[in-house]
Amino acid sequence: MISNSIKISVIIVLVLILPIKSNAQDTDQQEAIKKTILTIFELCQQNKCDQLAPYIVYRGKDSKRKWKDTYNSKSKEELEQVQNICYRIQELQKYDGYEFSKFITQEESEGKWYVWKLTFNTKETQKISYFAFLNINGGYAIGDID
């Protein structure tokens, strides 16, 4: 039989180790999504909307794909949606610079959202935007920009 002191020791170790693993996983997700944002910014800056499509969550009419897939650049209608998002990002890129301010996760009906709060700066003003991602097909795709 295992003594109570050993059981308590095991529980204490688990309580101490599990949060470390969770924090490491959060850090990995933060970095992966930050890298995805930088890729998206680069593609928008170069106006490569066809290459941007796999980074944007599908929000079209097909209910089977909505929130579960990314846009397809071979579809003219879907590429137009990607171009609109690219334009919104290009408007933010006109600011002098930006910084990654805060990372948040939140469960919603579409799944788990991974959100980076970015602060865009000029000498006179700041603009805060939230870039919200879902895990789609094994990668992170932007589902919303607020």
The pLDDT tens digits of the residues spanning 85-135 come to 999 999 999 999 999 999 999 999 999 999 999 999 988 889 999 999 999
Contact between residue 145 and residue 126 where contact means Cβ atoms under 8 Å apart: no
pTM for the full predicted model: 0.80
Q: Which amino acid is at 77?
A: E
DSSP state for residue 53 in the 8-state scheme: G
Number of domains in the chain: 1
Contact between residue 133 and residue 118 where contact means Cβ atoms under 8 Å apart: no
**Interatomic CA distance for residues 125 and 120, integer angstroms:** 8
* Whole-number pLDDT of residue 16: 39
The answer on pLDDT for 29 being more than 70 is: yes
The CATH number assigned to the domain holding 91 equals 3.10.450
User: What mean pLDDT is reported for the chain?
Assistant: 86
Look-up of token digits 């990995």: 28
Range of the domain at 65: 4-145
